[in-house]
Amino acid sequence: MRWSNKNSAQYPVPSFQRKAGCWVLSTGYWVLLATVTLLSAAPAAEEKHISVYSPVAIYTLPVLDRSGREYVGLLELLEPLGRVSSQSEGQRWKLRYNAVDAEFVAGKTRAKIHGRNFDFAAPFLIENSRGLVPLASLNALLPRFLGTSANFHESARRLFVGDGGIQISFQLDASNPSRLALNFSAPVNPTISTEPGKLRMAFKRDPVVSPGSQPISFANKVITQASYSEDNGDAELDIAANEPLMANFSNDRRTIVVSAVPPATPPGIGGTQNPAAAPPAATIASGNSHRVLAVVDPAHGGDERGAALTDQLVEKDVTLGFARLLRHELETRGFAVTLLRDGDTSLTLDQRAAAANVARAGIYISLHAVSQGSGARVYTALLPVEGTNKGAFHAWNAAQAPALPVSRIVSAAIVAEMQKSEFPVHASSASLRPLNDVFMPAVAVELAPGEDGIADLTSANYQQRAASAIADAIVSVRDRLGAQQ
């Protein structure tokens, strides 16, 4: 419901809390920045899973290791594909899929499917009434039930049922700047990330198939190679280059154009604002060029759930999903992006502001969600009146002041882009945290439902439209983004 601030309640402060939302708007506060906690989430060991691609459903299931073999639940595997039921009687396990009856025995390799014997590569298992089958047998087993072919890439645990998957072709345009168009036979939605010398596309839900067994080399001085790999249910396409790359979708997500990130243009061009308000872009070293770092902050998290949007839906989950989409949209536009949390973790407001300040981000964007109203609200800081804070705390409290003119430009750009995308949107100022505490241009965007009501808040399409508009707006003011020293 609120931005909790357990650490800094050193004296009572007047505050105002919006009824339907989650802001705590305080007119004065103290903050002691004793420790800067840098956020590092150690990646958890990835669980094994299998991805299944069929014309009727795309899904993933956990893979279990038993006696050195990999297994999957047979009922769970068939459930999304047809009508299925099972029955466990002691060591026997019966399954019916559409009109096919099958009977299995725990610990045995031989089963009976539709009246005929079937031999597994490893014993069938029963655990808690679940029937488990070895992955190594799926290519032979599934056609017995489905009546169509199955193509299981066993080492990568990717199972293609019936259809042939999404084909990829490459088209290099070597004119200046060099561009590599990746054409897909169906729309795709990869997660795109960059690292020095490489742009990576991870396909978690798209049934893309290998364009060949060898990496493809290009006779080009910028974009040098494309290589495909697949592992643990996912496929990955890596584009190697000698310059930082960016990617743009076109053709209804059937084409991704990869090109070098254009060099930054000098600040102040084409704008009417005071150039003093537009410091040079804050950059981070990335590859052998410089990109603006955007810090995206999914508000709330952990014990601090944010607003209860419905009985089941809490704000912290909506802000995280929205933040991930925004990260993607910004990355495809050439920004480096840091999410302040990429899981259900607790962060204080001080930690959020400190993380953005330490990173010397070019822009800080906080994301909230609300069940009432429609469209979106964009907030910039309303700084406390001079004199309400004293001494050493003053600088921190008013950290936002020098960047505020640019923050307002960013806010206006977001309003303009969201209006183009037909979001009802309003801009306002509020004395809210942690916007006041960050040195760089900073805005908060609060997403409200659209025409489809509360369901919009979890709609990937709706969030995507909003994220795309915000990212377009950030691009339009890229030259003005900078961290204050």
CB 434 → Zn ion: shortest distance, Å? 12
Q: Is residue 123 a contact residue for Zn ion (CB under 5 A)?
A: no
CA 398 to chain centre: 32
What does 384-450 look like in DSSP terms, one character per residue? Answer: PPTTSS-TTHHHHHTTTGGGHHHHHHHHHHHHHHHHHTT--EEEEEE-BTTGGG-SS-EEEEEE--B
For 31, what's the count of Cα atoms within 13 Å in the CB-facing half-sphere?
24
Which among 155-163, 209-217, 291-299, 477-485 is the span making contact with Zn ion, rule CB under 5 A?
291-299
Query: How many other C-beta atoms are found inside a 10 Å radius of the C-beta of residue 41?
Result: 10
* Residues 9-28: x where in contact with Zn ion by CB under 5 A, - otherwise, as a string: -------------x------
If phi over 0 gives left and psi between -120 and 50 gives alpha, with beta otherwise, what is residue 165?
left
CB 444 → Zn ion: shortest distance, Å? 9
Of 337, 326, 332, the closest CA to residue 367 belongs to 326
Q: How far apart are CA 238 and CA 197, in angstroms?
A: 10
* Contact criterion met (CB below 8 Å) for 53 and 163: yes
Q: Is residue 368 a contact residue for Zn ion (CB under 5 A)?
A: yes
Return the residue of 233, 306, 384, 441 that touches Zn ion, per CB under 5 A.
Answer: 306
* Residues 250-289: x where in contact with Zn ion by CB under 5 A, - otherwise, as a string: ----------------------------------------
Return the residue of 133, 182, 293, 299 that touches Zn ion, per CB under 5 A.
Answer: 299
| Per rule CB under 5 A, count of chain residues that contact Zn ion | 4
Which among 36-44, 112-120, 268-276, 365-373 is the span making contact with Zn ion, rule CB under 5 A?
365-373
Q: How far apart are CA 231 and CA 337, in angstroms?
A: 25
Q: How far apart are CA 23 and CA 244, in angstroms?
A: 38
- The single-letter code of the amino acid at 394 is H
| CB-nearer residue toward Zn ion: 207 or 306 | 306
Q: Is residue 333 a contact residue for Zn ion (CB under 5 A)?
A: no
| CB-nearer residue toward Zn ion: 378 or 477 | 378
Which among 138-146, 364-372, 387-395, 453-461 is the span making contact with Zn ion, rule CB under 5 A?
364-372
Q: Which of residues 188-207 bind Zn ion (CB under 5 A)?
A: none
CB 214 → Zn ion: shortest distance, Å? 50
CB 298 → Zn ion: shortest distance, Å? 10
Which among 73-81, 224-232, 298-306, 321-329 is the span making contact with Zn ion, rule CB under 5 A?
298-306
Residue 247 makes CB contacts below 8 A (sequence gap 6+) with 192, 199, 201, 256, 257, 258, 332
* Contact criterion met (CB below 8 Å) for 290 and 360: no
Residues lying near Zn ion in the complex (CB under 5 A): 22, 299, 306, 368
